[in-house]
Amino acid sequence: MNAIVEELLAGEKRQTGAADMMLQLAEWAAASYARYDRAAVDRITKAASEAAYALAGSLAEAAVKETGFGVAEHKKIKNEICSRGIYEAYKNEDFCSKRVVAEQKIVEVPRPAGVVFALTPSTNPVCTVYFKIMLALMTRNAIIISPHPFAKKCSAEGALAMAKAAEQAGAPAGIIQVITEPTLPLIEHVMKSPRVSVILATGGSPVVRAAYSSGNPAIGVGPGNAPAFVDSTADLNAAAKRIIGSKSFDNSILCTNESTVVAEESIADKLLQALGKAGGYVAKPDEVDSIREYLFGLGSFNVEVVGKSAAEIASRIGIKVPSSTKVILTPIDRVGIDEALSREKLCPVLGFVRVPHVHAGISTSRALIRMSGAGHSAAIHSSNTATILAYAGAVKALRVVVNAPCSQGAAGFGTHLAPSFTIGTGFFGRSSVGENIGPKHLVNWTRIAYSDEASETFGDFSSLEVWNNQAPLPVGRDSPMTLGRLQEGAERADAALFAQAAGGAMTDEIAAMRDEIRRIVLEELRAAFRK
| Kind and range of the H or E run holding 31 | helix 14-33
Q: What's the helix, strand, coil split of the chain in %, to 5?
A: 50, 15, 35
Are 399 and 196 in contact by the 8 Å Cβ rule? The answer is no
Is residue 392 helix, strand or coil? Answer: helix
Please name which of 145, 166, 148 lies closest in space to residue 22, comparing C-alpha atoms.
Answer: 145
Q: What is the dihedral of CA 126, 421, 187, 371, to 10 degrees?
A: -130
Q: Which amino acid appears at position 236 of this protein?
A: L
What burial letters (b/e) apply to 185-194, b meaning 16+ CB within 10 Å? ebbebbbebe
Query: From the candidates 127, 154, 255, 347, which is the catalytic residue?
Result: 255
Beta strands at 226-230 and 375-381: parallel, antiparallel or unpaired:
parallel
Three-state SS for 113? Answer: coil
Whether the Cβ atoms of residue 262 and residue 285 lie closer than 8 Å to each other: no
DSSP H helix total and E strand total for the chain: 19, 15
52, 161 in Cβ contact below 8 A? Answer: yes
Residue (of 260, 250, 237, 238) closest to 408 by Cα position? 250
317 burial level (CB within 10 Å; 0-12, 13-18, 19+): middle
Position 230: which residue type?
V
Reduce the DSSP state of residue 326 to 3 states and report it: coil
d(CA 192, CA 214): 5
Q: Decide if 44 contacts 167 (C-beta within 8 A).
A: no
The per-residue b/e assignment along 17-44, b for 16 or more CB within 10 angstroms, e otherwise, is: bebbbbbbbbbbbbbbbbbbeeebbbbb
Among this protein's residues, is 255 annotated catalytic?
Answer: yes
Residues 6+ apart with CB under 8 A from 508: none
Question: Three-state secondary structure along 339-357?
Answer: EHHHCCCCCCEEEEEEECC
Residues 19 and 190: beta-carbon distance below 8 Å = yes
Q: Are 156 and 147 in contact (CB under 8 A)?
A: yes
DSSP H stretches of helix in 425-497: 483-487
Q: Active-site residues: which are they?
A: 255
